[in-house]
Structure 1
Amino acid sequence: MTAEPALLLIDAGGTIASVPDDHGVLVGREGSAGLTAALPPVPYRLTERQAYAGLSEDMALADALRIADMVAVAEREGLAGVVVAHGTDTMEDVAFLIDLLHPGAIPVVFTGAQRAPGAPGADGMANLLDALAVAAHPAARGIGSAIVFGGRILSAPVAMKLDSSGPEAFGPQGAAIGRVDEYGVRLELLPRRRPPFDPVTPEPEVEIVALGLGSGGRQVDLLVQAGVRGIVVQGFGRGNVPGEVLPALERAKAAGVLLGIATHCIGGGTAPSYASGAALARLGAVPAGLLSARKLRLLLAVALGDGRPAAEAERLARDWLAPQA
C-alpha cells in the first residue's frame, strides 16, 4: 500500500478565510480558518499551520517571510509539498518572493478564493483540493512556487491576477504549465527555475512609480528625498518613459538608488528599442524583461537585502534575469 503524501497546509488569510461583518462587508478572520476541517476526506496526511490572519492587502514583508520560514521547516521535515491558502490581492507577490528564496525540491502551491465561504458559487474548497493534488503529485517536485486557481497551474514568476472578481482570476492563460480537472493533475510544461537567493531579509525601501500621460519626475524626486534604496518605474510599451522623467531618474541614480524599469503591458516585456528605453539602459536601470513591476520590485528588494550596496544588488538582479543556457 502506498503511503499517503504528507503535506503542510498554511493558512495565510484572504477571502478563503474571510467572514462578513455586521454590514456584510468581508473582513479578515482573527483566528484560524480551520481549513482542514472544512475539507472532505482527502488521501493526504495534512498538517495545518497559520502564518497570517487578515486580508492580503494588509500583508507586510514580515508576514511573507513567516511563510518562507514555514516552507523551510516543511522541507527539513521531509514533507511532500506545501499548500498556501492566501488572499488573491498579493498572492502573486508572495508566491514570487517564495520562489526567489526557496531552494528546495518540494513544491509550494498557492491558492485561494474569489468568493467567500458561504457565498453562492464559493470557489475556495475546489481550488484548495486542486492545490493539494498538485502539491502531492510526484511530477511537481522541483517546480518551485506556483499558483493553482480555476484549474490552471501557473509558475510564480509569470502568474498575475487578471480578473478582480471572476473565478478564473489568474493568468495569462497561455502561460499555464498544466491543468487540474476531474481527471487529475496534468503538468505539461515544467518551468526551468533560476537559482534561488541565499536567505536574506528583503529591503523594504523599494517603491514603484507608475507613469501615465504627461507624468513628470516629481514622484521620483520625492522618493529619493524620503530615503528609498530602490525605485521601479512602471513605464509604457517596451519600458519607455516621458523625457521629463529622465532627469529625475539620473538624480536618483547619482544618489545611489537602484533603478528598475518595467512595462504596464501584460505581454512583450521590456527592451531598449526606443530613445527613452535606451537612455534608461545607459543609466543602468535593471530591465524587468517579462516580470511585472511588482515582481521586479521584489527582486530588487531581495537583491538589496541585508544592506547590500546598490552596485552589488544590480549585479545579482541582472544575473537572476539573465537568459538561461
Structure 2
Amino acid sequence: MPELVLIDAGGTIASVPDDSGVLIGGSGAARLRDVLAAPLRDGVEERQAYAGLSEDMGFADAMQVARMMDAAASEGAAGVVVTHGTDTMEDVAFLTELFHGGAAPILFTGAQRPASLPGCDGPANLHDAVLVARDPSARGIGTAIVFGGRILPARSARKLDSSGPEAFGPHGAAIGRVDDHGVRLTAMPRRAPTFALADPEPRVEIAALGLGSSAALVDALVGDGVRGLVIEGFGRGNVPSQIVPAIERAKAAGVLVGIATHCVEGGTAPAYRSGARLAALGAVGAEDLSARKLRLLFAVALSGGRSAEEAERLVREWLAS
C-alpha cells in the first residue's frame, strides 16, 4: 500500500513545447515523482489519469481523476496529490470534494510555467503539495489547492491570474501556508455532506450576462434541452429585468435554475428587486460558490436521472450545511 498516491492529470506541469514553442499536452506518463527530492519521493506511487491540457477535459476525464482519488483513499493512502492544469483545476478539485468525505487530504497542484522555461514553478508546487499531504495537521481538510505557497479549500479556490505564479486565490480564503519552514495550517475548511460517486449530468450550462443582455441565450439553452442552468449575474445575483421572464419560462419547463455572481467575493443574496424576484421564482442562490462550481453541484445533484425537484432539494441541503 503506497503512503501517498500522485495522480498525473496532465496540464502545464506535464506539457511540452511543439516545434514552434506552443505548449501541447504530454503523450505519456509525466514521471513527476522523479522531480521530488529523495526523502519526499519515498512511499509515493505515481498513477496517470490524463495526459492532455486541462481546457480539453470533459466530465469523463474529471471522473477518471475522481475515481482514482477514491480508489487511493479506499486503499488506505494517507494522502493524494493531483497534478493538474490550472485552467480547470478549480472545477475538478471541487468536483472531487463533492465525492470525498474521508480524512485523507486530496491536494491539487500544477504549474503556470512549463518545465521547458527558466523559473518553472511546477517542482516547487509539487514539493509543497507533498509536504502538506504528509503533514498530520492536514488530516480532515478535504480537497484543497496548494499553489504559490498557499493552501486554498476547493470550495473557495479560483484562478485569478492567467500567467503569474500566484495563480489562485482569493488570498483571504487561504487556510494555511507552506514554505521552507514547513506547513502552517491556520483554519479547517467548511465541509459539506458528500454525494455517491456517479457520472454528473452533462446537460447543465452557464449563461453569463453583461450590460444589456437579452433573454435570447437563456431561451436558446432551455430550447436545446438543458436540465440545469446557472445564470452568472451581477453584484449579489442581480439580472436585467428582461431576463426574469426567461428564467420563469425555464422553471416552468422543469429546468433546475441557479443564480451566481461574477464577483470573486461577497456571494449572492436577494437584496435587490431582480434577485428577490428570482428567489421568489425558486432560483437557487449560489451563495459563496462561483457559477462554475454551482454548475458542477447541479450536475452531480441531477445525476442518475434525478428530477429537478429532488436535485434542488439536495443542492439546498448541501449549501445550508
Scaled by the length of structure 2, the TM-score of the pair is: 0.98
Q: Distance in 1 between matches of 2:295 and 2:39?
A: 38
1:215 maps to what in 2?
213
2:39 and 2:21 map into 1 onto residues whose CA distance is: 32
Instruction: Kindly indicate whether residue 4 of structure 2 is the aligned counterpart of residue 7 of structure 1.
Output: yes
Q: How does 1:145-184 map to 2 (within 5 A)?
A: 145-184=143-182
Aligned residue for 2:139? 141
Q: Give the whole-Å Cα distance in 2 for the aligned partners of 1:144 and 1:215.
A: 38
Separation of aligned partners in 2, 1:249 and 1:19: 44
Which of 37, 45, 48 aligns to 1:47? It is: 45
Provide the rounded CA distance (Å) in 2 between the counterparts of 1:123 and 1:107: 22
C-alpha distance in structure 2 between counterparts of 1:314 and 1:85, whole Å: 32
Instruction: Spell out, residue by residue over 1:148-190, the C-alpha distance to the aligned partner (whole angstroms, 9 max, x if none).
Output: 0000000000000000000000000111000001110011111
1:124 counterpart (105, 119, 122): 122
Identity among equivalent pairs (%): 68
- Residue 93 (structure 1) aligned to one of 91, 94, 101: 91
Q: Could you tell me which runs of 5 or more consecutive residues in structure 2 were left unpaired when the two chains were aligned.
A: none
Q: Could you report, residue by residue, the CA deviation over 1:211-238 in whole angstroms, capped at 9, with x for unpaired residues?
A: 0000011001111111110000000000
**1:184-203 map, 5 Å:** 184-203=182-201
Are 2:258 and 1:260 aligned? Answer: yes
- Contact 2:17–2:116 (CA under 8 A) maintained in structure 1: no
1:296 aligns with 2:255: no
Other-structure match for 1:273 = 271
Letter of the 1:306 partner, please give it. Answer: G
Paired with 2:265 and 2:33, the residues of 1 have a C-alpha distance of 37
1:51-77: per-residue Cα shift (whole Å, max 9, x none)? Answer: 001000000111111111111111121
**1:283 aligned residue:** 281
**CA RMSD, aligned part only?**
1.1
Q: Is the 8 A contact 1:114 1:165 kept in 2?
A: yes
Q: Is the 8 A contact 2:13 2:122 kept in 1?
A: yes
Does the aligned pair in 2 maintain the 1:161–1:170 contact within 8 Å?
Answer: yes
Task: Provide Cα deviations, 1:288-308, integer angstroms capped at 9, x if missing partner.
Answer: 001000000000111101110
Alpha-carbon displacement from aligned partner over 1:95-142 (angstroms, at most 9, x marks no partner): 000000112211100000000002021000000000001111111111
How many pairs are equivalent? 320
Secondary structure in 2 matching 1:186: strand
TM-score w.r.t. structure 1 length? 0.97
Aligned-pair CA distance for 1:200: 2.0
* Structure 2 SS opposite 1:207: strand
Q: CA deviation at 1:5?
A: 7.8
Bigger Cα displacement from structure 2, 210-219 vs 188-197: 188-197
Moved over 6 A (4+): none
For 1:65, give the aligned amino acid: M
Contact 2:2-2:45 at 8 Å conserved across structures: no
Choose 48-57 or 187-196, whichever is displaced more. Answer: 187-196
Distance 1:5 1:11, change over 3 A: closer
Q: 1:35 aligns with which of 10, 32, 38?
A: 32
Unpaired runs of 5+ residues, structure 1, are none
Greater mean alpha carbon deviation, residues 36-45 or residues 252-261: 36-45
Give matches, 1:8-87, under 5 Å.
8-43=5-40, 44-87=42-85
Separation of aligned partners in 1, 2:198 and 2:285: 22
How far 1:285 moved relative to its partner? 0.7
